Amino acid sequence: MKTRMLTGLMAGFFLSGTAQIPAARVATRPSPVPAVLKEAPAESVGMSTARLRRMDAVIEDYIAKGRQAGVAVLVARDGRIVYHKAYGQDDITTRSPLTRDAIFRLASQTKAITSIGLMMLFEEGKLLLDDPISKYIPAFKNPKVLDKFNEKDTTFTTVPAKREITIRQLLTHTSGISYPTIGTKEAVAIYAKYKIPSGIGTPTGTLAESIPRLAALPLMHNPGDRWTYGLSTDVLGYLIEVLSGQSLDQFLRTRLFEPLGMNDTYFYLPAARQPRLTRVYTEDSTRTLRRLPTQGGISEDYPKQAGTYYSGGAGLSGTLYDYAIFLQMLLNGGTYNGKRILSPTTVRLITQNQIGDLNQGLNKFGLGFSITSERSAARLPVSAGAFDWGGFFGTTYWVDPNEKVVALLYTQKVPNSYGDLTDKFKVLVYQAITELNQPER
């Protein structure tokens, strides 16, 4: 039975040969996790409201100093929302406030959702993780690896890859596929030459058109040799389309968003939800906030367009609450509000190290998520085994299965010289925990 250990000094030793330690006092276990995320006092789940409020001063200071326009946070424990707040402005010109129901560009937070969609098909026997992707998308047969690259004219030579790309390698970003714009310099040049979309601000075209073009281009290294962030999850989005017979948009809406009640998550926003889309900011050479201008033909209003390109790696927009639902489903072992999305055994598979001795920074990587390592857990109070990721425009989240915590911090600013707010937010969440969770034995 799961309990929370009360803090305090132990006393009562008896000096009779061996010291006897009395049984530790434990707190009453909270009632079962509610069917849906609900607001509740922090004290009901072993946290302190007063300590959570410490984040107000920290976040408000970033806003007052012009480091951020607006920030939104959500913290939940045991399926109960203990802090959900928006700070600052959505529009610094009109001073319109940022609201809790604001819709944010999720960018790479799309990856986890697409990965879970694929694992639903895995559970249906539609694929195995170590299948070559060419079994389902033949354009990936006989991949090539970049050998030599000429920066002057972007010509290149290739050598045959030592092995085929597997679905597992796509899920773990070890496929050798890189990214346009933020990938290696070779990938940026080659992908631009062959008009490979990044997935952000790309409303026209389809995955069926772009992914085979990507498949014809060289990998940056042999599959499985290194961790390289890239378009692997966009390939998985197309794989979902191939296996399901639906567009990625239709599949996620009918299989994930509607069952979970994620009513504000879209690739392209309906007209009624468009006014809630946040503004995006950047900073000039003096680190002063300003609106993000249209760049390379990509406008911040891309989620308002009527698009046909469904990027599995970067295309979604949504609210804090919707994404918290998705994360709570995973923390619950694959179920939410009576809807079973995945087996707990599959969630366990997804959230364990899948890259062996390779590293992603200080961390490991699962099937769509970064996994907090022991080394990383020694740096901040996040538990080893927690899983997380974030998005290009300044959104971040994590799930801590040990402490039953779901936490999200959203901004909309790129680039951002003040990314230390993310780590401070983590500290502020954990310092508010007054009773540690005792795992089941």
Distance (Å, whole) CA 413 – CA 104: 11
DSSP H or E run through 240? helix 232-244
Residue 93: predicted pLDDT: 93
Q: How many C-beta neighbours within 10 Å does residue 135 have?
A: 14
Rounded average pLDDT per 10-residue block, the chain, 441 residues: 39 36 41 89 98 99 97 98 99 96 98 99 99 99 97 95 99 97 92 95 94 98 98 99 99 99 98 98 91 83 96 98 99 98 99 96 97 96 98 98 98 92 98 84 42
CATH no., domain 127-244: 1.20.58
Residue 92: predicted pLDDT: 94
Sign of CA dihedral 183, 362, 60, 278: positive
Burial environment of residue 350 by CB neighbours within 10 A (0 to 12, 13 to 18, 19 or more): buried
Q: Where are the domains of the chain?
A: 36-114+249-438, 127-244
36-114+249-438 CATH fold: Beta-lactamase (3.40.710)
Distance (Å, whole) CA 175 – CA 192: 20
Burial environment of residue 145 by CB neighbours within 10 A (0 to 12, 13 to 18, 19 or more): middle
**Tokens describing residue 331:** 């923390």
Residue 176: predicted pLDDT: 98
Distance (Å, whole) CA 139 – CA 417: 41
Residue 181: predicted pLDDT: 85
Residue 310: predicted pLDDT: 98
Residue 267: predicted pLDDT: 98
pTM: 0.92
Count the alpha carbons within 13 Å of 80 in the hemisphere toward its beta carbon: 16
Strands 395-400 and 405-410: antiparallel
DSSP H or E run through 425? helix 420-430
